[in-house]
A and B are shown apart, each in its own frame.
Chain A
Amino acid sequence: MMLSRVADHQYWMARQMERAENLARLVRVSEEMLLDDESLGRGTAQEYWTPVLAATAMEGAFRSLYPEPKLGDVASFLTLDLRNPDSILSCIRLARENARSVRDKISDEMWSEINALNLFVTSPEGLELLERFPQAYYEKIIASSMLFDGITDSTLTRDEGWNFLQLGRLLERADMTSRFLDIRSQTQTADGDSALESLQWGAVLRACSAHAGYRRVHGGEISVEGVVDLLLFSNEFPRSVRHCIRRADAVLHDISGTPTGRYSNSCEKITGALLARLSFAGPPEVMARGLHAYIDELQVQLNAAGQAVFENYVLLPGEVDRHFPRGTRPESLSDWQREQQQQ
């Protein structure tokens, strides 16, 4: 048993941290690829970034903030722009804010790490690194998130709070892995430039730290089917959608105490159904349906799972209608909190 608000903060702390990490993975690999493209004179930077923005559902926000985009605008929009609620910086700030709200529930080391990352990303050293060695800057963010994960694993008591934290991380990871696949589903060339394709799918694998995992299972040849098989359906690869959902489903059952294979609430029903779907399908079904359409359906289910967690554990029955989406917390509440005099 724990405070519902605390469960919510634990969930979002992990989820925002995972999102920041994955965005860093995305920008790092994209910039690297862009260098190749530019040197080969293929397409414009603009064309190159469009699918990235589309897959992360940020295209509209970008266009309204940057009506006449220049080179480098997308990277700054994704990295340090606080007007973008899903930029790396926004995610880190939110993760840290959530951690602050549960400061008494997490280990000192977890707090130190998340706090240090928050300080690093806008520190003079951090910004200099971003300017001169952007790859190293993004790698540092990725490493910090993984370190946070490791610290959590080795310092946090395995109670309900741990479960909500895992849930946030796993659902976000599943969501982001599916988005990485979606980027390439939008750039698949009609004329089938196979060299370019395997280069691009290689980048997706790199973004997911999946190169070695891929070679073990599918060898050196990179194919769409192979990548889809690993990132959506692998039971063993820790960033695959199926793996994440299997663990999330187990975590949910641990929280409620319901035996696996049965469900006691709507979130278990959603993850259970999703798991069954991922366990009894493979690349042929995806290709028949179309990669983009398949991923779209998957994401609808993932969103529904997150919403169901919120409705089952954070809200009291009858409060479902009163909930406002995350990130739109009314400003007035923080003003009230500030107003309280402390003698």
Chain B
Amino acid sequence: MILTDYKAANLFDELVDVAGKIRPYYRNIADKLSSLGNEELSQKLRSLELLFLKQGITFTVYGDEKGTERVFPFDPFPRVVPAGEWEHIEAGLVQRITALNLFLYDVYHEQRILKDGIIPPEVVFGASHYRPEFVGVSVPKDAYIHVCGTDLIRDRDGRYLVLEDNGRCPSGVSYVLENRAAMKRVFPQLFGASGVRPVDTYPADLLATLRHVAPRENPNPNVVLLTPGVHNSAYFEHSFLARQMSIEIVEGRDLIALDGFVYMRTTRGLRQVDVIYRRIDDDFLDPQVFRKDSCLGVPGLVDAVRRGNVALANAIGTGVADDKVTYAYVPDMIRYYLCQEPILDQVPTYLAWRDADKKYILENLPKLVVKAANESGGYGMLIGPAATAAQIEEFRQKVSHHPRNYIAQPVVNFSQHPTLVDGGLEGRHVDLRPFVLWGDTVKVLPGGLTRVALTRGSLVVNSSQGGGSKDTWVLAA
């Protein structure tokens, strides 16, 4: 593969510095990739895609009439994160999940942070994922977010910025593991003495995290993964994780709540369930409490949770912490609960219901990214510079009429990474989603999902919107 033609654009490039020189920690992999012929590379890529397809490593695209399964596009040029940078990221993520869990405990108990005027009460009470029903309810080990996927981007100067926290049902970790396995299989020669930290301890760490919150310190809890079912976009990941952890993957219809306990239906009758790693939103968990029409949940589940007979990971109501409006207050939370300055910076955020901010947003729509406060997957989003006049008008109406539902941020022209496009290398925007586990100790998986926007110039990396992924190499030293 020819690296000499590769050009850095006018933004931070992961591979080369402003002078066009390859960064020292990329030299090893760059040399090895250069020694591969283009022909060999394309052939390996094709065999990789076939492998993914044959193994059914796919996700489901919605909006497509019947939900076609697609292979998640994979780019073979790994992203490299040197040890020093990772140390910084890791410390920042640990600090952040600590603050978020303290915040959630506080919001569902004394609400000191509101009373002390750090966060306006309407931010919390107006968040669509706030669950007033759970005020005063304790959860095992006071743990709310057990699994967090935090999205990071890098600005023009290479600074890592937090783009958002995903504290409800973060997904993508299975691709981190599968991408690494695929790289080892197809490009074993690239690893050599590169000093790449392994990622395959994740399933064991996740299981330990889940067992940690078992009710009444049960030493041998029955842990299950609750999936919406095979038609869900992330079903591959659900079954992958269940298999790796050797736990049962269950659907709502497999569970039954009786007298405050939850059981699964087996060929030998009922068996009690202690911990549920749920990949279903709060709204669908229990038709007796939340959405009445949900047929994915388990009637009586929430009652069992309240009584402390079954634990949920993540806990109910964590959505108030990863709300895009709450996001604006996370640095204040860190200062308030931890008396520390935030280690990781984040993107400036304008909140549409503050009159001054709203005015600014409406006047600068073509320059801003506007997001619905409670959507994910890149849906319900306006990217000002790339939008048509009609789309801008549509969001002008939306923001004017429902200011609580929208926030805006300046367009961060985030970093690019060389990516194989039509046999050559071109820069494409990338983000990074590391995964954090909150158990007995806090563990950050050394790696993460590097998502890449495959369309030239695009800033949207979501798989549902034409994104792909790369293996992420965190170096040991």
Contacts and interface: CB of A to CB of B under 8 A. Distances in A.
Interface in A291-323: 313-314, 316
A153 interface: no
Given A334-B229, A336-B295, A343 B171 contact: yes
Given A4-B267, A103-B239, A338-B233, A111 B295 contact: no
B169 interface: yes
Given A2-B266, A101-B230, A336-B295, 20 more contacts: A3-B250, A4-B254, A4-B265, A4-B267, A5-B254, A7-B267, A97-B230, A100-B235, A103-B243, A332-B295, A333-B295, A334-B231, A336-B228, A336-B294, A337-B228, A340-B228, A340-B279, A341-B377, A343-B149, A343-B377
29 contacts: A2-B267, A3-B254, A4-B267, A5-B251, A6-B248, A100-B235, A100-B239, A103-B239, A103-B240, A104-B239, A111-B56, A116-B54, A119-B54, A314-B267, A316-B256, A316-B265, A334-B67, A337-B230, A337-B231, A338-B228, A338-B232, A339-B228, A340-B279, A341-B169, A341-B375, A342-B169, A342-B237, A342-B279, A343-B170
Q: Which of B230, B242, B251, B254 has the most CB of A within 10 A?
A: B230
Given A333-B229, A342-B377, A343-B149, A115 B54 contact: yes
A5 B249 CA distance: 10
Contacts of A160: 267
B134 to A, nearest CB: 20
Contacts of A97: 230
Contacts of B267: 1-4, 7, 160, 255, 313-314
A252 to B, nearest CB: 12
Given A1-B267, A108-B55, A340 B232 contact: yes
The A interface, classified by DSSP as helix, strand, loop or mixed, is helix
A342 B254 CA distance: 21
B378 to A, nearest CB: 11
A144 B83 CA distance: 48
Interface in B213-240: 228-237, 239-240
A112 interface: yes
Interface in A242-271: 255
Contacts of B228: 336-340
Contacts of B149: 343
Interface residues of A, number: 35
Given A337-B228, A337-B296, A343 B56 contact: no
Contacts of B264: 3
Nearest to A103: B239
Contacts of B265: 3-5, 316
Contact of B166 (A100, A112, A343): A343
B464 to A, nearest CB: 10
B285 to A, nearest CB: 11
Contacts of A104: 239-240, 242-243, 249
A338 B55 contact: no
Contacts of A313: 267
Contact of A342 (B230, B232, B268, B294): B232
Interface in B398-443: none
Contact of B55 (A4, A6, A115, A335): A115
